[in-house]
Amino acid sequence: MCRQISRHELACEEAKARMIRCCPGFTGEALDCEDTSGEIMGCNQVEIDLADAHCVTDRSCEALVAEGVCTRAIQNFNGGPSGTWNSRICALP
């Protein structure tokens, strides 16, 4: 558990809130932004990494839908039986 507000956690929560607002059908049930790695590990182990989180928050709602970010987010993070797992949903390698 990280004792301070980490950059990764806050970016993840912002991205999650944006996808709930912009992506119809996205509930984010399985997207946990709480970093359980601890201070020693650097407090950077969340399910959406920094590049992906910034990619989401930098895009408009229309762009998130059009570029398939919402579809990948629903596949990965809506809970229940998931579809194809992508390690990233927005900032694709």
Partner 1 sequence: MRASAAVLALLLAAPGRADEPEWRPGSARLALEIAAGGEAAWIQYVPVHGPTGSLALVLAGRPRDGAPRFRAKFHLRGRMGETPEGLQARDVRLGGLLGIDVGRFGFGLGPELAFVAVERVGPGEMSSDSLALRLAADASLWESPFGALFLELTGSFETGSRQQTAALLVGYRFHLR
d(CA 28, CA 13): 10
Segment near partner 1 (CB under 8 A), from 20-28, 61-69, 70-78, 82-90? 20-28
For residue 2, which amino acid is it? Answer: C
Only one of the segments 14-22, 63-71, 72-80, 84-92 lies at the binding site for partner 1 (rule: CB under 8 A); that segment is: 14-22
> Under the criterion CB under 8 A, does residue 28 sit at the interface with partner 1?
yes
Alpha helices in the chain (DSSP H): 7-22, 50-57, 61-66, 69-77
Q: Radius of gyration (Cα) for the chain, nearest Å? A: 13
Site for partner 1 in 42-81 (CB under 8 A): 57
**7 counts as binding partner 1 under rule CB under 8 A:** yes
- By the 8 A CB rule, do 19 and 26 touch? yes
Residue nearer to partner 1 on the CB measure, 29 or 83: 29
Q: Which residues bind partner 1 (CB under 8 A)?
A: 3-7, 9-11, 13-14, 16-18, 20-21, 28, 33-34, 57
